[in-house]
Structure 1
Amino acid sequence: MRRVILIAVLALAAVAGTALATGGGDREHPPTLAQGAELATAIPQDAKDAAATLATVRDQGDVIPEHLAEPLRRRAAFGANPDLSRRTVAQTTQSAYIVAGHDHVCLVLTNTETAGWNIICPTTQDLTAGRAGPLTVGLPDGALAVAGLVPDGIDTVHVSDGTDQTIPVENNTYYRVFPADQTPRTLTYDGPDGPVDWDLTNPHELPPAEP
């Protein structure tokens, strides 16, 4: 049975860190996300093979609220279709969804309070290899959310801010919010082909985006 991660109440700011794009009226940082592709009509088998969550039966809890799904549908990033979503993190105001497209699998973080979202879309090949890359999102009061997708077989990831913390993986997703006095710098885990290491970008430390 698929379990949905429950997370503490902390509203996501619609600010992109290493996210490829943001929605809800915010600027893109940077505007490199492929757009306008024909929406996928079914989840590709290779995506299901990489992430078993995508092979589960979709139910009402997996549905992205329409006011958030509609702009995602218009953007059509790599053909990612919100009507094929599976929810992996759930809370009253914020959720995470896996959304499959053409040769890509997207992670979408949504916030019902701001009607905003952040999205990152690794290739299915990178997801399968355990190299999908993390998403970092700046939150109010200097907090930082770290999230990402990993393939089947990876149960935990580790972050370091001077001390090591272990983040459990549920539904092919890891997610944790770090308060302002903790600044995670690296994320590591054992991938299918060996150790994987990522440097983490903190959006709060980046210069303001140009208008």
Structure 2
Amino acid sequence: MKFSFIPKKFLKNIKNIKIFYSGKQNKTYIGDYQNIKVQIRVPNINNDFVNWKNEKEVIKCNSDFLYYKNGVFIKKWIEASTLKKINLNQEIITKIFQEIENFSLLPLTKIKKFDWKTKEINDLKYRKLVRKYKNDQLFVSHGDLRKKNILFTNKNEIYLIDFEWTRLNNKYFDLVCLNLYLKISKKLIIDYFKLDKQKFNDFAYMIKKFNNHWIKKHYNGKI
């Protein structure tokens, strides 16, 4: 198999390359590079929401990455499981909260703002809510917090992965996704981050509408 997506200076030193995962968004390979195990990720698609420039800015803050260009990266391998295989207890949930809070405060000033696609989504309530919160303070948002994008190690460490959807966004975006897609209790999230309940519900409405639009547009309603 040819690995033309890997720069020659790395390719000549990476051994035992094999496929590890293949999904709709990307493929992951693993290999050995200078006595360490590495992950090689290669994107399958590039749609209007994937932003590799934003992802690159996030990766600059992480010394585990050895190479990055246009969605292709080489990084040190993390021995961990996605949250799909983990039963969430209070300790793990608290660590997730802390990791997301730390991520939201990364000093990233060059990344783009989240686009709610109000010109494409024909829903009056949705548009009113977007306008209602348009002047809120913005934070760094992962944008795709699902179980497949959060790793948990045997040392009880939490890692966020896959940053193509990272944007400057309202802090409620990621926090509401924890409830919608990780099924973490709304009350736990609201109490921990001292959130407004009505605002939480408003963002739940907005995120559902946005994600339904995105899925229909890019995956014909199936994901």
Tell me the TM-score normalised to structure 2 length. 0.29
Higher relative contact order (CA 8 A, sep 6+): 1
Higher CA-based Rg: 2
Identify the structure with the greater helix proportion: 2
**What's the TM-score, normalizing by structure 1?**
0.30
